[in-house]
């Protein structure tokens, strides 16, 4: 499903959700799943390192998520930046080619899935639905400036006074232009840690006349504000005012904070809400390792899913340290929930 510039962005997402049966399943953690398969991401490029070293592994993980039931797969461009590639000695052209490649790999995984369906292998996905009726979108990931810093700054959102709106716009401009023309169905602005960066994205989309639909997804560590301390309502309002934004939400945030954040977002926008929390573990940015959190438990991730849907989220998946099994469980939980509510109507 390639985007059509004549289709209103809001209609694009409404149509897609209808095709999916009312809600869509987003994939799970990409970088952390690449690590599960042996990739060493201790590198300034983090998961984008695999675009150079192991594209086949990226394709395999995308396919695993599709088979687990994902309707939206997110490309490996989260930490793929032209500045990051240049620091590795790559030319501007090579960097741009790698950005496009991240989307091509995801599209290849979707093609493999559809080929299997066309050959009538009778495969089932996630919740048991036959492959043929499984709409899939490819989202091009854009991680924050903090992700590029590769020090976990997307979990603080504190960039210092020297980083202005213009700095952020200049940083992201070319990458967004390239990804908008890459063949992706939408751009996923992910793990947005502060309001300034959301404003930079919104202004860039307008200035550059970007037509492709996008979503804005913020991260939080307290359930009230985004990680920088900016209020989620103010951040969601920035997204609400931007025509190209087809969903607003939260990712890479512990599951225990999600319910309240969905409610806060819905107070300020009627756009669809996307949520894809992490496993609830904590990231040690120095060691580039995940550690089990002390305090409130998040282990029962999937049991929250029905409540998030009831609260109004219509795109649901997982972020760091969630796996294809998480996505399969989410898919099953939501399909049995929706079957139960359909049965009640009769």
Ligand X SMILES: N[C@@H](CCS)C(=O)O
Q: Which residues are annotated as a binding site for Zn(2+)?
A: 252, 319-320
In contact, 254 and 298? CB cutoff 8 Å: yes
35: helix, coil or strand? helix
In contact, 136 and 66? CB cutoff 8 Å: yes
**226 interacts with Zn ion by CB under 5 A:** no
Count of other CB atoms within 10 angstroms of residue 144: 28
79 binds, among ligand A1LUD, Zn ion, ligand X, none (CB under 5 to 8 A by kind): ligand A1LUD
141 binds, among ligand X, Zn ion, ligand A1LUD, none (CB under 5 to 8 A by kind): ligand X
Tell the smallest beta-carbon distance from residue 207 to ligand A1LUD (Å).
26
Q: Return the residue nearest ligand A1LUD (CB atom).
A: 150
Binding mask 120-159 for Zn ion (x = CB under 5 A): ----------------------------------------
- Percent of residues in the chain assigned helix, strand, coil, to nearest 5: 50, 15, 35
Q: Which is nearer to ligand A1LUD, 14 or 57 (CB)?
A: 57
Tell the smallest beta-carbon distance from residue 52 to ligand A1LUD (Å).
15
The two tokens of residue 264 are 């806060």
In contact, 305 and 334? CB cutoff 8 Å: yes
Count of other CB atoms within 10 angstroms of residue 18: 10
CA dihedral 281→328→78→42, nearest 10 degrees, is 50
DSSP-assigned states of every residue in 205-226: HHHTT--S-EEEEE--SSSSB-
Tell the smallest beta-carbon distance from residue 131 to ligand A1LUD (Å).
31
Q: Quick one: how far is CA 239 from the chain centroid?
A: 15
30 binds, among Zn ion, ligand X, ligand A1LUD, none (CB under 5 to 8 A by kind): ligand X
Which residues form the interface with ligand A1LUD (CB under 6 A)? 46, 79, 147, 150, 152, 154, 191, 252, 283, 285, 288, 320
Q: Give the whole-angstrom CA distance, residue 301 versus residue 254.
A: 9
Per CB under 5 A, the list member of 68, 99, 319, 330 interacting with Zn ion is 319
- Please, which of residues 259-288 interact with ligand X by CB under 6 A? none
Evaluated on CA atoms 91, 201, 232, 307, the torsion sign reads negative
Q: Which of 194, 186, 248 is nearest to 221 (CA)?
A: 194
Q: Which is nearer to ligand X, 268 or 319 (CB)?
A: 319
Per CB under 6 A, the list member of 20, 25, 29, 264 interacting with ligand X is 29
**103 interacts with ligand X by CB under 6 A:** no
Binding site for Zn ion (CB under 5 A): 252, 319-320
Binding site for ligand X (CB under 6 A): 29-31, 47, 74, 78, 141, 190-191, 252, 319-320
């Amino acid at each position: 499903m390639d985007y059509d510039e004549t289709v209103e962005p809001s209609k694009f997402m409404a149509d897609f959700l209808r095709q999916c049966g009312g809600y869509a399943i987003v994939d799970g953690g990409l970088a952390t799943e690449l690590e599960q398969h042996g990739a060493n991401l201790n590198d300034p490029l983090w998961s984008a390192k695999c675009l150079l070293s192991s594209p086949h592994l990226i394709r395999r993980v995308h396919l695993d998520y599709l088979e687990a039931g994902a309707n939206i797969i997110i490309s490996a461009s989260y930490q793929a930046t032209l500045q990051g590639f240049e620091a590795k000695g790559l030319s501007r052209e090579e960097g741009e080619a790698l950005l496009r490649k991240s989307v091509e790999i995801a599209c290849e995984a979707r093609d493999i899935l559809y080929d299997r369906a066309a050959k009538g292998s009778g495969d089932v996905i996630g919740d048991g639905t036959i492959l043929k009726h499984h709409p899939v979108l490819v989202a091009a990931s854009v991680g924050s400036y903090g992700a590029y810093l590769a020090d976990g700054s997307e979990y603080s959102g504190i960039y210092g006074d020297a980083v202005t709106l213009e700095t952020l716009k200049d940083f992201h401009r070319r990458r967004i232009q390239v990804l908008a023309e890459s063949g992706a169905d939408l751009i996923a602005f992910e793990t947005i840690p502060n309001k300034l960066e959301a404003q930079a994205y919104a202004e860039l989309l307008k200035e550059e006349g970007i037509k492709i639909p996008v979503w804005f997804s913020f991260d939080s560590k307290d359930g009230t504000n985004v990680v920088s301390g900016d209020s989620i309502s103010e951040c969601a309002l920035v997204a609400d005012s931007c025509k190209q934004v087809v969903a607003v939400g939260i990712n890479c945030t512990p599951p225990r904070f999600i319910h309240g954040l969905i409610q806060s977002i819905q107070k300020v926008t009627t756009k669809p809400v996307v949520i894809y929390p992490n496993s609830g573990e904590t990231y040690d940015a120095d060691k580039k390792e995940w550690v089990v959190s002390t305090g409130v438990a998040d282990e029962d991730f999937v049991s929250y899913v029905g409540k998030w849907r009831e609260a109004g989220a219509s795109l649901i998946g997982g972020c760091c340290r969630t796996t294809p099994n998480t996505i399969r469980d989410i898919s099953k939980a939501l399909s049995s929930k929706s079957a139960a509510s359909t049965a009640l109507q009769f």
